[in-house]
Structure 1
Amino acid sequence: MSDVIVVGAGVVGAACAYYCARAGLDVTVVDRGPVAGGTTGAGEGNVLVSDKEPGPELDLALLSNRLWRELDRSVGGFEFEAKGGLVVAETDHVRRRLTELAAEQDVQHETVPAHALRDLEPHLADDLAGGVLYPQDAQVQPMLAAARLLQNGAGKHRVREGGALHLRLGVTVTGFVRSGERVVGVRTDHGDLHGGAVVNAAGTWGGRIAALAGVDLPVQPRRGFILVTEPLGEPLIRHKVYTAAYVTNVASDSADLETSAVIEGTPAGTVLIGASRERVGFDRTTSPPVLARLAAQAVALFPALRDVRVIRSYCGFRPYCPDHLPVIGPDPRAPGLYHACGHEGAGIGLAPATGHLLAQLLQGHRPDLDPHPFRPDRFQAEESR
């Protein structure tokens, strides 16, 4: 019997397991597939504060940004790059709005006039109106991050003086074990697993796991495509660079297709090109028109990419919640069940703070941030009004 069972071996589940093990709890992580086999494996690895509006998610992002840097020092091995993010504007009106947003966010930033953009990114298009530089923005390799957090919490790399961490892959959760009204474990296709608490960190499938416990979480898949270029001999892009439309798309409620230019390099020399958003269920069908639009937007922002070949594309599903906030904490409708899902496209960036807060809540400690905005039953409260 474990103290905590975590459903999901993506980066959020890995972070929950890591921080619980570090706190001295015995943890079992269950996933029907491999480590990072879902949304995490299809992510870019964004660790952003620049795209968050002032409020609870930005507070969570700032905590997570600090924790990622601590993890880079204590765990490492996941290609953490403190590269900074550059948000660019195509018109003076958009530039003014970006500057206003940066002031409202009250985070580290630097307003960049049009003539100084190429000092930061020499290959940028020359018709931009300016931008804002966010030094705290960073990037990780998401699959490595999930694997390293799990590895560091188990075996010979186990967290010093912490609890044990067990990994059960290829095991599908089919229901919950209860003692009265309380959740005390999970039913799986390999038998029952018992625990003091269960954490739903199933990402895009978080709503389906919650439904097995008889509770409703409105987590829906929001599909996105990414293009990957051939490795370049010399780095072409220094920062994570994106247009202001990306901020708007992140906050959008539309189910229709939305795209914006999001471009960055990797340590392997490739360039990642995004981003698209659309709610089409779990349809993985490749859409050539969407890929063509992403490529055209990338070339408009960095004309030098016109002569670079794309070698592959892939898609993933962001776990979308209607209010664009993750679901974190105990579910009063199913005592013993906790949630850590619904982060949409910010799960990788917000993973450490989510795991840290979950571990504090499981121990009955006062959390570093107020968890009330992320409470699992908030949607039910909205419906009853």
Structure 2
Amino acid sequence: MSLDSYYTLGRSGLRVSRLALGTMTFGDNWGWGAAEDTARAMFDRYLAAGGNIIDTADLYTEGASEELLGRFVEDAGVRDRVVLSTKFSYNAQPGNPNAGGNGRKNILRAVEGSLRRLRTDYIDLYLLHTWDRITPAEEVVRTLDDLVRAGKIRYAGLSDVPAWYASRAQTFAEAHALSPLVNLQLEYSLVERNLEHEFAPMALELGMGITAWSPLGMGLLSGKYKPSEAGGAGEGRLAKVSGLPGFDRFTERNWRIVAVLEEVAQALGKPMAQVALNWVATQPAVASVIVGATKLAQLDDNLSALSFEIPTELRKRLNEASAPDTPFPYWFFGDTQQTRIHGGVSVGSKPADYAPPVYVKAESVGGFKAD
């Protein structure tokens, strides 16, 4: 695989690279991240490598990420080439509940702000950023459909929502002939595999390609962290925030995964980060993996993650070391129970048996050929 091999995103005709450029680090408004010159260098390097999908959000670095990205795209004259993906949900005006969330009023407010900062008249992929627990899926879907019909967005999707909510939203869209959702953006890595229970089979069944965020487990799988008496130590943000809700990565289970990953990486002669990225990129239902960096060298390393294959035996070691718990009712769906259901004959497919999305490879500039 390479960055100039493009996969269709979900059940759509939108072609995207297997690695997406994450721009949460564009701008240093949060006290960390990449300054404008470094961000531009990473943007240029990604495009030169053949990548085409760039992920941002109105939340990232307080809007600076969208502003920098809009400037870079305009200066490079590549608007038609790139797939711009941005997100809404988070509040822009503290004290005003309707300046955040996923209601129609905020979506229409947010999209205008993103269009302005991105210096474009349309967004290729517009995502609900996080479930707000109150807005009906029907309201979100109808509003996104209106934006597609108005030409302000081309495609829509969801990020960080419950599986039942995504299923309801997509089913509602199908039942009422509204624009379908083509994307689910979710956390996925060797240390976070819970989406395999519901999201992966649902995405394949309902036509939503998964874009994976934090494929390196918030940096844990990069190899720069080691166990310590305090849980873990290393140079990076994770050492500072570990223990906070959602950031607790320094666990015994995860250190066991890191140890196996290191052994596999050594056997392959590849950096740990590349092996971890390669594993995610080749999982069922995954259309693209979001990679971010604060330094150009980090991005260069990540962009080489598709240049090799993980042999079956080594992949098995990674799978077994990182296998998530199988809570109720999912253990009912394993081979033992299914064999009893089907009279001793094994039939059907498990989520891991699904084939990856169809992809097309760029044969020449602007030309695509079914592979």
Determine if the TM-score, normalized by the shorter chain, exceeds 0.5: no
Q: Which structure features the higher share of strand residues?
A: 1
Q: TM-score, normalised by structure 1?
A: 0.30
TM-score (norm 2): 0.30
